[in-house]
Amino acid sequence: MSGSKYITSNLQEVIEGEAPLDFYADDVEGYKQIRILCNQDTIYSLNIKKGGFGSGDAGIVFSYATGRMIFDRASFNAWGQFTWDATKESVVLELHDISLLSSFNIGDAKRYTKDEFLAALWNKIRLTIERSDR
């Protein structure tokens, strides 16, 4: 299962268990668009694009926004590539994060397994939702 499909299906499963949240995902212009809604208002937007920054199929690019996102192909908050990590004995996402999971912390890439990345992303989304006026 590809990274964007894994993220989409697992986020959908988590969101569907959280009343009064709704989940929306669609493929638009080569991106996977994910929207999390509360009372029909978008409270979190995430776009995922496979590839990017010369990494071919091994790469992934993320852009997110609190609330409704205006679609912009050039904007991004994080990018990374999938590589083998011998220590974890797993494929990991080597993520360069501008603000997707952290707060403007550009530096060395952090390595996440799929489950670690999904947990970190859901924690960030959950905190964003808690801070909103839902």
Report DSSP letters for 14-60, one per residue: HHHTSTTEEEEEEEETTEEEEEEEETTEEEEEEEEEE--TT-GGGEE
Nearest to 60 by CA among 90, 104, 100: 100
How far is 111 from 80, CA to CA, in rounded Å? 9
Please classify residue 26 by burial: count the beta carbons closer than 10 Å to its beta carbon, then call 0-12 exposed, 13-18 middle and 19+ buried: exposed
Cα→Cα distances 122→47, 107, 130, Å: 15, 22, 12
pLDDT, tens digit (0-9, with 9 covering 90-100), for 65-94:
777 766 555 577 888 888 889 998 998 888
Instruction: Name the β-bridge partners of 133.
Output: none
Model pLDDT, residue 119: 92
Whether the CB-CB separation of 83 and 95 falls below 8 Å is answered with no
β-strands 21-28, 90-97 pairing: unpaired
Q: What is the pLDDT of residue 24?
A: 93
Q: How much of the chain exceeds pLDDT 90, in percent?
A: 14
Q: Which residues pair with 35 in a beta bridge?
A: 24, 45
The pLDDT tens digits of the residues spanning 32-47 come to: 899 999 888 888 888 8
Model's pTM, two decimal places? 0.81
Query: How many of the other CB atoms lie within 10 Å of CB of 113?
Result: 15
